[in-house]
Structure 1
Amino acid sequence: EISSIQKQLTEILKLSQLSRSEQVGLLIEQKKIPAQYQVLLQKFNSISFELAKITEKLIGMEQTASPSEETLEDTGNKKSGGEETSAEIEEQPIATPPPDLSPQQVFNMARSDYLKGNFQLAVEGFAIYREHFAESPLADNALYWIGESFFSQNKFEEAIQKFNDFILIYPNGDKIAAAYLKKGISLMKLNKKDEAISVFRLLISKFPLEEETKIAQQKIKELG
C-alpha cells in the first residue's frame, strides 16, 4: 500500500511540474509577441474583465426589477375592479333636472356647456332634456347637439349614431340637413370615403337649396 501511495505522489508531482513547464512556455511564447500586440492583448483582457463585472451588475438589476407573479396578479385584479367600477358608472340613470327649471332653461344650460367646450357636460344636459321633455319643440335639437358634442370630442362613431337617430326620428327636423352633413364629415374622419360621398350626395339630392349642400359639394371635390 505504501508503494502504491508513493507511485501516486510521483505521478502528481510529474503533473505539477508539467503544468509549470507549460506555464513557463506560454510566458516565453508571449514574450515573442511584438510589443504593440502585447499592449492590445492587455487591453483586451482588461475590457473582458470590465464586461464581466457589468454583466453581473445587469443580472442583479434585472432580478431586482422583475415583478413577481403575485404582484402581477394583484395588479390584474385591481384593474379588473376598476373596469367594473367604470361599467357601474356608465349604467347610472339620467339625472332629474331641478323642479324649478323650465325646459328652456335646461336646454340653455346644456347649450351653454357646449359653447364653453364642456362637451361631456353638454351631452349629459341634452340627454336630461330629452329624457324629461321628450315632447317639447326642442327635443330634436337636443338630439342633434348630442351628436355635435360627440363630434367635437372626436368621438365620430358615437356622433354618427346620434346623427342616424336624428335622421330616422326627425326626417323633417330643422337640423336634418346639418345632421346629414355632419354624418358625412364624421365618416370622412374615419377614412370611410365611399360612405361619406354617398351621404353627401344624398344630402345634395334631398336638400339642394340648403347651405349645407354647398359644403357637401366641396367635400366631394376634396375626396376626389
Structure 2
Amino acid sequence: MKRILIVLPILIVFVSCAPKNQALNKSISAMNQEIVDLQKSIANLKMENDELDRKITVNKTKINTNSQAISDINNDVTYLTNEISMIKERLETSKPAVQSGDNKSMSKDNQTRNAKTETAEQNDNQIVIIEDKFSDKGSLYSYAYELFKSGKYYESRQKFNEFLSLYPKDSLSDNAKYWVAETYYSQNNYNKAIENIIQMIRDYPDGNKVPAGYLKMGLAYNELGNRNEAVKILKELIQKFPASGAAARAKEFLAKWE
C-alpha cells in the first residue's frame, strides 16, 4: 500500500509533464527546420553571389578589351567633327564675288591656294607633302591623323610634329607623340618608334596613350629580336595599367610567346 502511495505522485507528475515535453520537442523540431531552411537560403545566396562575381569579371574583361577601340573611335569622331568644320569654312570662302558690269569672278583671296606641295625622299620613293594652313589645332591634328590612316606615314609624321611644336602642352600632345611613334613603327623603323614612345612617357606620364605606348614599345622590341626586353615591357604595362585594354592585349601576346 505504501508503495502505491509513493508511485502514484510520480505518475501524476510524469503525466502532467508529458504535454510540456511534447511541446518542447515540437519547438526544437521547428527550430531545426528553420536552421535547415536558413542554411539553404545562405547556400542560394552564395551561388547567386558567385554568379554575380562571374558576370562582373566577364563584363570587366570586355570593357578592358574594348577601351583601346573606344579611344580610336573618339579620335575618329574628333577628326570627323573638325573635317565638317573645315568643309563648311572652305565652302564659305569659295563663294564667287559679284563685281561691276555684271561680271562675276572669284575674289583674289579665293584665287589664292592654301596648299603647296614639296617632295622628299623616303625609302627611295618620291613622297608628296601637302602643307595646308589650318586655322585651329583640331583641324591640324585631324589632318595628321587622316594622313596616318591613309598610309602616308612620312607626311603624317611631319604634321604631328608640327602640332607638337605649336601645342606642346595640349591635351592631345601625348596622342600626337604616340602617332609619331606609330608612323615609325609602320615603316619598320622600330628603334625610332621606341625612342619616341620613351619621350612620350617621359613628357606626358599621365597621358591616355601611355598604356598603348608601352604595348607598342614591347612589340617593337620583339620585332627587333629582343624578346626578353619585350616581355619585360609588357609585364610592366600589366603591372602599371592592369585595367587597360593595352594590358589585356599584352596578356594575349605573352600567352603566345610562352
Q: Structure 1 length normalisation: TM-score? A: 0.55
State the secondary structure of the residue aligned to 2:220: helix
Shift of 1:220: 1.4
Name the residue aligned to 1:138: 172
From 229, 247, 250, the equivalent of 1:213 is 247
Name the residue aligned to 2:211: 177
State the secondary structure of the residue aligned to 1:172: coil
Q: How many residues align?
A: 131
Structure with more contact order per residue of length (Cα contacts < 8 Å, sep ≥ 6)? 2
Name the residue aligned to 1:156: 190
Aligned counterparts of 1:211 and 1:140: Cα–Cα separation in 2: 17
Name the residue aligned to 1:107: 141
From 213, 227, 231, the equivalent of 1:193 is 227
**1:103-145 Cα distance to aligned partner (Å, 9 max, x none):** 1111111001001000110100000000111122211111010
Alignment of 1:123 onto 2:196: no
Following superposition, which runs of at least 4 residues in structure 1 exceed 2 angstroms of deviation? none
Aligned counterparts of 1:177 and 1:135: Cα–Cα separation in 2: 19
Aligned counterparts of 1:170 and 1:135: Cα–Cα separation in 2: 9
Aligned counterparts of 1:97 and 1:173: Cα–Cα separation in 2: 28
Q: State percent identity of aligned pairs.
A: 26
Shift of 1:97: 6.7
Alignment of 1:204 onto 2:241: no
Shift of 1:222: 2.1
Quote the RMSD (CA, aligned, Å). 2.0
Aligned counterparts of 1:139 and 1:196: Cα–Cα separation in 2: 25
Aligned counterparts of 2:196 and 2:169: Cα–Cα separation in 1: 18
Shift of 1:217: 1.1
**1:28-81 Cα distance to aligned partner (Å, 9 max, x none):** xxxxxxxxxxxxxxxxxxxxxxxxxxxxxxxxxxxxxxxxxxxxxxxxxxxxxx
Aligned counterparts of 1:212 and 1:140: Cα–Cα separation in 2: 16
Whether the aligned pair in 2 keeps the contact of 1:150 and 1:156 (CA below 8 Å) is: yes
Aligned counterparts of 1:128 and 1:188: Cα–Cα separation in 2: 30
Question: Which protein is richer in strand relative to its size?
Answer: 2
Structure 2's unaligned 5+ residue stretches are 1-120, 122-130
**1:200-221 Cα distance to aligned partner (Å, 9 max, x none):** 1000100111111111112112
Name the residue aligned to 1:46: none
Question: Which protein is richer in helix relative to its size?
Answer: 1
Larger Rg: 1
Whether the aligned pair in 2 keeps the contact of 1:97 and 1:128 (CA below 8 Å) is: no
Structure 1's unaligned 5+ residue stretches are 1-85, 87-95
